[in-house]
């Protein structure tokens, strides 16, 4: 009995000590936690605060009746989604563009970061990075206009070169075969430089002694990249890949609206544009809410599957 009391007393003492240490840390670092307040408020209002609106997916929502007085219709809107041939095409377009983006775009920041890491001239490296980061800060409207002008069949620089070589021009933006690659390449142009930041930070954390030992062993730059750099940043690569799989049904509407046109609408119409058209333009709020829930559930499943595979076949995972 006495030993039990002593054990309980020791456990309470440890908890009290830990609580005191946490309070001391909070008092010393209260400014850091104060900086979290705007972020927490943002998610509280625009994420958690919007959760009651998910009820619309199971209702025949009418603005005049309100959220709690609209007719309950159960899974009617979900049945329409799964039985609609038009939505199946839109879902196919969304998955295709995302997979193409994953295959072509995802490795690009990694390769660029590895190349920048090999640049030893500091000034040249900084200038190159600044120029690569710059497109990230332009809106898609600006970049879309630039791309349209560059690829214009009448006065675009690409077609002027093609016409000088072959005597013919190509209407790139109206070609359903070429347009998906324009979509991915424009994403790379805008974001590939910005995407290198995380990988360069991971590379900078690699122990320099590993490279020194490899140099002594006679390994060249290419061998060092394969055997040291890439394995050392593999954890970062896997984590970002898992997160990327969680947005498999998310294609930015700004990019689509800036680059799409009627000639390629068959391939460029994705879930985001369909939701905008049905929800904002046609006022079918319940139907588009059901689409949003469907997309979120699929994204969550893909995230969990990607995390499970990563955890099973590597030592890296989110949880």
Separation in Å, CA 239 to CA 187, 234, 307: 20, 9, 8
Task: Say what percent of the chain tops pLDDT 90.
Answer: 36
Q: Which of 105, 78, 282 has its CA nearest to residue 180?
A: 105
The model's confidence at residue 47, banded by pLDDT at 50, 70 and 90, is confident
Q: Of the given ranges (21-35, 223-237, 278-292), which has the lowest mean pLDDT?
A: 21-35
What is the token pair recorded at 149?
Answer: 């002008």
pLDDT of residue 154: 84
How many angstroms separate the CA atoms of 295 and 306, rounded? 16
Segment 202-207 mean pLDDT: 90
Can you tell me whether residue 284 is helix, strand or coil? coil
User: What confidence tens digit (pLDDT) does each residue in 173-186 have?
Assistant: 999 999 999 999 99
Q: Is the dihedral of CA 133, 136, 142, 143 positive or negative?
A: positive
Q: Is the pLDDT of residue 6 over 50?
A: no
Cβ(133)–Cβ(194) below 8 Å: yes
> Percent helix, strand and coil across the chain, each rounded to 5?
75, 0, 20
Q: Is the pLDDT of residue 121 over 90?
A: no
Residue 212: alpha-carbon gap to chain centroid: 36
pLDDT of residue 11: 59
pLDDT of residue 29: 82
Cβ(100)–Cβ(186) below 8 Å: no
pTM for this structure? 0.81
User: What confidence tens digit (pLDDT) does each residue in 79-119 have?
Assistant: 988 888 888 899 999 999 999 999 999 999 999 999 998 88
pLDDT of residue 8: 52
**What average pLDDT does the structure give for the chain?**
87
| Other residues' Cβ atoms within 10 Å of the Cβ of residue 183 | 22
Fold of 76-313: MetI-like fold (1.10.3720)
Segment 114-137 mean pLDDT: 88
Cβ(164)–Cβ(147) below 8 Å: no
| Other residues' Cβ atoms within 10 Å of the Cβ of residue 296 | 14
What is the token pair recorded at 33?
Answer: 């936690």
User: What DSSP string runs through 113-174?
Assistant: HHHHHT---HHHHHHHHHHHHGGGGS-HHHHHHHHHHHT-TTT-HHHHHHHHHHS----GGG
Residue 131: alpha-carbon gap to chain centroid: 22
What is the token pair recorded at 37?
Answer: 């307040």
The model's confidence at residue 26, banded by pLDDT at 50, 70 and 90, is confident
Cβ(26)–Cβ(33) below 8 Å: yes
User: What confidence tens digit (pLDDT) does each residue in 299-311 have?
Assistant: 999 999 999 988 8
Residue 302: alpha-carbon gap to chain centroid: 13
User: What confidence tens digit (pLDDT) does each residue in 281-295 have?
Assistant: 888 889 999 998 999
Q: Is the pLDDT of residue 13 over 90?
A: no
How many angstroms separate the CA atoms of 198 and 225, rounded? 17
């Amino acid at each position: 009995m006495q030993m039990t009391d002593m054990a309980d007393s020791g456990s309470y003492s440890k908890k009290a000590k830990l609580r005191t240490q946490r309070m001391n840390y909070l008092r010393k670092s209260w400014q850091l936690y104060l900086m979290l307040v705007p972020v927490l408020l943002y998610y509280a209002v625009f994420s958690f605060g919007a959760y009651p609106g998910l009820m619309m997916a199971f209702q025949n929502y009418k603005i005049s009746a309100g959220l709690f007085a609209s007719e309950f219709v159960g899974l009617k809107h979900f049945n329409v989604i799964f039985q609609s041939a038009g939505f199946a095409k839109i879902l196919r377009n969304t998955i295709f563009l995302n997979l193409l983006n994953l295959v072509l775009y995802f490795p690009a920041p990694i390769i660029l970061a590895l190349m920048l890491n090999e640049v030893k001239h500091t000034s040249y490296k900084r200038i190159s990075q600044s120029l690569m980061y710059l497109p990230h800060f332009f809106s898609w409207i600006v970049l879309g206009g630039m791309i349209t002008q560059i690829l214009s069949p009448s006065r675009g620089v690409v077609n002027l070169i093609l016409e000088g070589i072959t005597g013919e021009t190509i209407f790139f933006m109206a070609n359903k075969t070429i347009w998906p690659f324009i979509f991915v390449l424009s994403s790379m142009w805008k974001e590939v430089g910005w995407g290198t930041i995380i990988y360069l930070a991971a590379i900078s954390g690699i122990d320099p002694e590993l490279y020194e030992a490899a140099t002594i062993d006679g390994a060249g730059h290419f061998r060092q990249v394969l055997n040291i750099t890439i394995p050392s940043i593999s954890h970062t690569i896997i984590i970002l890949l898992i997160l990327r799989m969680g947005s498999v049904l998310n294609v930015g509407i700004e990019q689509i609206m800036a680059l799409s046109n009627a000639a390629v609408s068959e391939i460029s119409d994705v879930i985001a544009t369909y939701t905008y058209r049905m929800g904002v333009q046609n006022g079918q709020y319940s139907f588009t809410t059901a689409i949003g829930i469907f997309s979120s559930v699929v994204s969550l499943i893909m995230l969990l599957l990607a995390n499970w595979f990563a955890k099973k076949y590597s030592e890296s995972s989110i949880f």
